[in-house]
A and B are shown apart, each in its own frame.
Chain A
Amino acid sequence: MTQLDSRPGPGAAVDRRRPARVRTLWILAALAALVLIMIASVAFGSRIVGWADIVAGVRGQTDTLAQAAVVKRIPRTFLAVAVGAALGLAGAVMQGVTRNPLADPGILGVNMGASLAVVTGIVSFGLASAAGYIWVAILGAAVAAVFVYAVGSLGRGGATPLKLALAGAAISAALASLISAFVLPRSDIATGFQSWMIGGVGGASYDSLRLVLPFLAVGFAVSLLSAKALNSLALGDDLAAGLGERVAVTRGVAALGAVLLCGASTAVAGPIAFVGLVVPHFCRLLVGLDHRWLLPFSALIGAALLTAADVVGRVVARPQEIDVGIITALIGAPFFIYFVRRQKVREL
Chain B
Amino acid sequence: MTATHSLLVSSLRLGYGDRTVIESLDLTLPPGKITAIVGANACGKSTLLRSMSRLLAPRAGHVLLDGREVHKMPAKELARTLGLLPQSPVAPEGITVSDLVGRGRNPHQRLLSRWSREDDAAVAAALDATHTADLADRSVDELSGGQRQRVWIAMALAQQTDLLLLDEPTTFLDVSHQVEVLDLLTDLNRNRGTTIVMVLHDLNMAARYADHLIALADGKLHAAGEPSAVLTEDCVRAVFGLDSQVITDPTSGKPLMLPLGRHHVAITRP
For A14, what are the chain B residues with a Cβ–Cβ distance below 8 Å?
Answer: 98, 120, 123-124, 127, 133, 136-137
Query: CB-nearest residue of chain B relative to A292?
Result: B115
* Docked-complex contact A5 and B98, CB < 8 angstroms: no
What is the bound-complex CA distance between A231 and B76, given in angstroms? 15
What is the bound-complex CA distance between A2 and B95, given in angstroms? 19
* Docked-complex contact B99 and A288, CB < 8 angstroms: yes
Sampled A-B contacts (15; CB under 8 Å): A5-B116, A9-B117, A9-B124, A10-B117, A11-B125, A231-B106, A235-B89, A235-B100, A236-B89, A238-B50, A243-B159, A244-B107, A245-B75, A288-B96, A289-B99
Cβ-neighbour of A347 out of B50, B77, B90 (below 8 A): B90
What is the bound-complex CA distance between A13 and B104, given in angstroms? 17
On whether A232 and B120 interact (CB within 8 A), knowing A225-B111, A242-B84, the answer reads no
For B95, what are the chain A residues with a Cβ–Cβ distance below 8 Å?
Answer: 234, 288-289
* Docked-complex contact B75 and A244, CB < 8 angstroms: yes
Cβ-neighbour of B92 out of A12, A243, A348 (below 8 A): A348
**Does chain A have a CB within 8 A of B86?**
yes
For B53, what are the chain A residues with a Cβ–Cβ distance below 8 Å?
Answer: 241-242
Cβ-neighbour of B86 out of A2, A236, A246 (below 8 A): A236
The 5 closest A-B pairs by CB, nearest first: A9-B120, A244-B79, A244-B76, A244-B107, A242-B84
Chain A 222-250 residues near chain B, CB threshold 8 A:
225, 228, 231-232, 234-239, 241-246
What is the bound-complex CA distance between A109 and B103, given in angstroms? 32
Knowing that A14-B137, A16-B98, A239-B86 are A-B contacts, what are 13 other residue pairs whose CB atoms are under 8 Å apart, sorted by A's residue number? Answer: A2-B114, A5-B117, A8-B120, A10-B120, A13-B124, A13-B127, A14-B127, A232-B106, A241-B55, A243-B79, A244-B77, A246-B75, A288-B96
* Docked-complex contact B89 and A3, CB < 8 angstroms: no
Q: Smallest CB–CB gap between B172 and chain A, Å?
A: 17
**Does chain B have a CB within 8 A of A7?**
yes
* Docked-complex contact A12 and B121, CB < 8 angstroms: yes
What is the bound-complex CA distance between A4 and B90, given in angstroms? 24
* Docked-complex contact A13 and B106, CB < 8 angstroms: no
Query: CB-nearest residue of chain A relative to B98?
Result: A14
* Docked-complex contact A5 and B120, CB < 8 angstroms: yes
* Docked-complex contact A13 and B128, CB < 8 angstroms: yes
**Does chain A have a CB within 8 A of B201?**
no
* Docked-complex contact B75 and A289, CB < 8 angstroms: no
For A244, what are the chain B residues with a Cβ–Cβ distance below 8 Å?
Answer: 75-80, 106-107
What is the bound-complex CA distance between A239 and B104, given in angstroms? 9
Binding site for A on B (CB under 8 A): 50, 53-55, 75-80, 83-86, 89-96, 98-100, 103-104, 106-107, 109, 111-121, 123-125, 127-128, 133, 136-137, 159
Best-buried of B84, B85, B92 by chain A (most CB within 10 Å) = B92
On whether A241 and B54 interact (CB within 8 A), knowing A9-B124, A13-B133, the answer reads yes
What is the bound-complex CA distance between A271 and B210, given in angstroms? 60
For A2, what are the chain B residues with a Cβ–Cβ distance below 8 Å?
Answer: 112-115
* Docked-complex contact B91 and A235, CB < 8 angstroms: yes
- The count of chain A contact residues (Cβ–Cβ below 8 Å) is 38
What is the bound-complex CA distance between A235 and B95, given in angstroms? 10
On whether A13 and B136 interact (CB within 8 A), knowing A236-B89, A242-B83, the answer reads yes
What is the bound-complex CA distance between A142 and B99, given in angstroms? 32
What is the bound-complex CA distance between A225 and B90, given in angstroms? 24
Chain A 157-187 interface 0/1 with B at a Cβ cutoff of 8 Å (1 = within): 0000000000000000000000000000000
* Docked-complex contact B93 and A348, CB < 8 angstroms: yes
Query: CB-nearest residue of chain A relative to B94?
Result: A289
Cβ-neighbour of B114 out of A5, A236, A238, A290 (below 8 A): A5
**Does chain B have a CB within 8 A of A346?**
yes
**Does chain B have a CB within 8 A of A284?**
yes
Query: CB-nearest residue of chain B relative to A8?
Result: B120
What is the bound-complex CA distance between A290 and B120, given in angstroms? 16
* Docked-complex contact A228 and B84, CB < 8 angstroms: no
Query: CB-nearest residue of chain A relative to B95?
Result: A289
Best-buried of B77, B86, B103 by chain A (most CB within 10 Å) = B103
* Docked-complex contact A242 and B112, CB < 8 angstroms: no
Q: Smallest CB–CB gap between A14 and chain B, Å?
A: 4
For A243, what are the chain B residues with a Cβ–Cβ distance below 8 Å?
Answer: 79, 103-104, 106-107, 159
Query: CB-nearest residue of chain B relative to A249?
Result: B75
What is the bound-complex CA distance between A190 and B106, given in angstroms? 51
Q: Smallest CB–CB gap between B30 and chain A, Å?
A: 22
Query: CB-nearest residue of chain A relative to B127?
Result: A13
For A288, what are the chain B residues with a Cβ–Cβ distance below 8 Å?
Answer: 94-96, 99
For B118, what are the chain A residues with a Cβ–Cβ distance below 8 Å?
Answer: 9
What is the bound-complex CA distance between A238 and B113, given in angstroms? 24
Cβ-neighbour of A346 out of B93, B96, B106, B113 (below 8 A): B93
What is the bound-complex CA distance between A19 and B93, given in angstroms? 18
* Docked-complex contact A238 and B84, CB < 8 angstroms: yes
* Docked-complex contact A12 and B54, CB < 8 angstroms: no
* Docked-complex contact B115 and A3, CB < 8 angstroms: yes
* Docked-complex contact B109 and A228, CB < 8 angstroms: yes
Chain A 2-54 residues near chain B, CB threshold 8 A:
2-5, 7-14, 16, 19
Cβ-neighbour of B103 out of A13, A231, A284 (below 8 A): A231
